[in-house]
Chain A
Amino acid sequence: MPHVMINRKKCTGCHMCELACSAFHEGGFQPSRARLFAAVNPTTAAIKGHTCLQTGCAKCQEACPNDAIVARRITVTPKGSFASKEKIGDSSDGYVLVVDESKCNNCGDCYDVCPTEVIFEHPSRRVAFKCDLCDGDPQCIAFCQNEYVLAVDLKVDKADKARAEA
């Protein structure tokens, strides 16, 4: 199932992915509300990418007592280049995990179990928010186009732990 990954060895720490992510979803540039992030240690320049592994992980869905995290069908067709493009092709079908805001009561169980720390409480809507692959056009990939870098990549897992379809 498709999901985004940040290659920590290639990432340069420009944060373009976070900026684009927040602008796409929040109507303005606000990395504190990005759905993925690259943690950069400015002193050592070490980088760690944090992205949602979607249905290949699905720990948030397992933890949710309200069935508020649901799998939705998606076709991902990223703009521009990405490292796995040759292997995956221009587009990939599968499921993405999204928050059903009518069911989410912001209990926080999912925040505690996310292994990559990328599901959060939305400060104004008071519900969980997470990566939804931008309706199939991931902005993080679109803005990681330095041909020498291409750190934000699309991956497709064979394993699919989530089952519930909205």
Chain B
Amino acid sequence: MDFYQGRVLRIDLSKGTSAVEPLNMEWAGKYVGGKGLLLRYLWEEVPPNVDPWAPENPLVIMTGPFAGTNVATASRVLVGCKSPITGILTDSYSGGSFAPEMKFAGYDAFIITGQAKEPVVVTVKDDVVAFLSATGKYSGLMTSEIEAALRADFDANAKVLSIGPAGEREIPWACVATDQYHKAGRGGHGALMGRKGLKAIAVRGTGRVTVGDAKAFLADMYRMQGENVLIPDNLAQYEEGTPVLAQIMSDAGIIPTRNWSTGTFDGIGTINSESFLKIRTGNRACTQCAIACRQFHEAGGVVGEGPEYETIALCGANCGMDDIEALMKFNHACDELGLDTISSGSVVGLAMDLTEKGVKDFGLHFGEAEAYLQAPELIAKREGIGAELALGSRGLAAKYGRSELAMEVKNLELPGYDARGAFGMSLSYATSDRGGCHMRAWPVGDEIITGTLAPDSLEGKAAYVISGQDYQAMKFTGIWCDFWAAGLDQMALLMRHVWKREVSEEELRLVGERVWNLGRLFNLREGVEADTVPLKFYAEEYAHTEGPPAGKAIGAEALNSAIKEYYMLRGWDAQGVPTEAKLAELSIDVRL
């Protein structure tokens, strides 16, 4: 079969066994791969209303049809489950080399069920699957260390998906790491992996991915490389990458600063793109992507990839931290421990706020590096203040009766865009299918960067957010990266090779809408909180007093009516439940 390997590896950690089963090609036809196929499998594999920490909640590792080919950026791997933080779906993506290696080993997906009695590492070399004990020397290793150990012990060319000490201790926002610097960051997959007793999966594949006429495919990809991929829009990611957003968002007054108390960071000049360019050492790429956006920096004895904008925003500005060395070290510590940086920066910023407001003294202060740099390790080990910080933003703020200070949606900490200066983001966050996330729809792009939409209005934003969500849902089936600004037209040119027929843009938009609606059904089945955002984002009394958003507030009424409009335009009822007519129109094959 071309593009797909047609095989799923099912790993039962309770029994220590594995089995190969055919990929459901009917589902692959409807939902393509990546996010779509993940959600269809989760619908089937997650027992309705299961406790997300229970052994029955599966962890699914999914690829897209283009992983292992030379379709740019499509090497991304998807880790998904019912989130132990939010209780709803979570799909988290990572670049690197893991997904192509899975395909070369002969698999489109891994479905990991059960719970090991004692921690294990699973190795997969083509058809050979083995379970190694992770109670001895692998226990407690940092993400770079477990990768190096498995390359030494199992296969020099192994690609590794692992958790660090934070995952082993089930920190709610522990992430899954691969190729050391890549993280499937958001939603607590690393915590679930830790609960399952799975320290790492190492894969080595020597097989092939077929695409039909390989030479004709190469010729088409050569053409697309020149016309669509290696063009200035995308090469900007090589040149400066996401750090370029730091100055832009601070100037626009929407970079979270000192626990979201303002949107303009006075220290931005030392942690903006200009400052990072001065300490840049070079670029690296994910497998099958010549854009090579992975920027390496060196400061304070730390050499490593990143930080990306979200880390600069949450671990920098939001902690009042303008010291680039400290920021590099904090990012490096989170990478090694296996902690998501958005949630880490958010929680540490909250603890600083609680300290400075005199609510509870965590010894953490805005802009002070010493205690800040100890925080990641304390959190990962649940030691000292880390034991309380590991509650996460919602839990920590609630414990001290200051819930209004926690900036999260559905218990997932918010990324680096303050909706008070980009109103569309409030709707994007409120309706995101995995909680506080910027990757489903990004009104900031037009509200702030191109300036083609008014940042202080919700008019027309419901339709804008829907279109963004459907587009991203399609993109995440590929699995293409956000750093290839590929339109549906370009995706259609590629899907033509998979489906061996002409493919229209509208057809792919419909796939995106189908995937989004399936996600909504899953979330409704599992019990999703009301679609809203923190009070700070919309209430008049929390309006900013400085910068472009000064004095502006969304207001509860405008937010609620935008959400109602969103439901209506989606073809959902007033409670946000997709109607039968919509499900039939989208040929969705499951029902609540």
Q: Which residues of A contact B (CB under 8 A)?
A: 12-16, 19-20, 22-24, 26-33, 40, 42-43, 45, 79-80, 139, 142-149
Contacts and interface: CB of A to CB of B under 8 A. Distances in A.
Contacts of A80: 222, 226
Contact of B70 (A13, A29, A40, A146): A29
Nearest to A32: B206
Nearest to B292: A12
A28 B209 contact: yes
Contacts of A30: 104, 206-209
Contacts of B292: 12, 14, 146, 148-149
Contacts of A28: 208-211, 214
A42 B210 CA distance: 27
Interface of A is mostly: loop
Given A27-B214, A45-B284, A142-B222, A19 B148 contact: no
Nearest to B68: A29
Which 6 A-B residue pairs are closest in the complex by CB-CB distance? A30-B208, A14-B285, A28-B208, A12-B292, A12-B285, A32-B206
Nearest to B296: A45
A163 B219 CA distance: 34
Contacts of B230: 145-147
Interface in B175-223: 179-180, 205-211, 214-215, 217-218, 221-222
B464 to A, nearest CB: 32
Nearest to A143: B70
A23 B218 contact: yes
A19 B210 contact: no
In this complex, the member of B70, B148, B215, B221 whose beta carbon has the largest number of chain A beta carbons within 10 angstroms is B70
Contacts of B291: 146
A23 B235 contact: no
Contacts of B331: none
A148 to B, nearest CB: 6
Interface string B87-102: 0000000000100100
Nearest to A15: B287
Interface string B141-152: 000100110000
B305 to A, nearest CB: 8
Contacts of A143: 70, 221-222, 225, 290
A20 B235 contact: no
A31 B104 contact: yes
Interface residues of B, number: 44
Interface in B489-518: none
Contacts of B305: 45
B554 interface: no
Contacts of A147: 230, 235
Contact of B208 (A26, A43, A148): A26
B288 interface: yes
A121 B294 CA distance: 35
A28 B205 CA distance: 14
Contact of A19 (B147, B286, B288, B294): B288
Nearest to A139: B218
A16 B210 CA distance: 16
Nearest to B148: A43
B180 A145 contact: no
Given A14-B289, A23-B211, 6 more contacts: A13-B285, A23-B70, A29-B209, A31-B100, A43-B144, A143-B225
B180 A146 contact: no
Contacts of A149: 283, 290, 292
Interface in B240-297: 282-292, 294, 296
A145 B69 contact: no
A158 to B, nearest CB: 31
B53 interface: no
Contacts of B289: 14, 16
B296 A144 contact: no
B442 interface: no
A83 B226 CA distance: 17
B4 interface: no
B476 interface: no
Contacts of A23: 69-70, 211, 214-215, 217-218
B147 A42 contact: yes
25 contacts: A12-B292, A14-B288, A14-B290, A15-B288, A16-B70, A19-B68, A22-B208, A23-B69, A23-B70, A23-B215, A28-B214, A29-B209, A29-B211, A30-B209, A43-B147, A43-B180, A45-B296, A142-B218, A142-B222, A143-B222, A145-B226, A146-B238, A146-B291, A148-B238, A148-B292
A28 to B, nearest CB: 4
Given A16-B288, A145-B290, A147-B230, A29 B235 contact: no
Contacts of A42: 97, 147, 179-180
A149 B237 CA distance: 13
B69 A19 contact: yes
A146 B284 contact: no
Contacts of B222: 79-80, 142-143
Nearest to B159: A42
Contacts of A33: 208
A80 B238 CA distance: 19
Nearest to A25: B214
Contacts of B205: 32
A15 B100 CA distance: 11
A144 B291 CA distance: 10
A2 B238 CA distance: 30
A26 B69 CA distance: 13
Nearest to B283: A12
B290 A20 contact: no
Contacts of A20: 70, 218
Contacts of A24: 214-215, 218
A42 B214 CA distance: 29
A80 B179 CA distance: 30
Given A14-B285, A23-B218, A139-B218, A145 B225 contact: yes
A32 B209 CA distance: 12
Contacts of B225: 143, 145
Contacts of A13: 284-285
In this complex, the member of B69, B292, B296 whose beta carbon has the largest number of chain A beta carbons within 10 angstroms is B292
A145 B180 CA distance: 26
A88 B430 CA distance: 58
Contacts of B239: 148
Contacts of B147: 42-43
A145 B230 CA distance: 7
Contacts of B209: 28-30
Contacts of A148: 235, 238-239, 283, 292
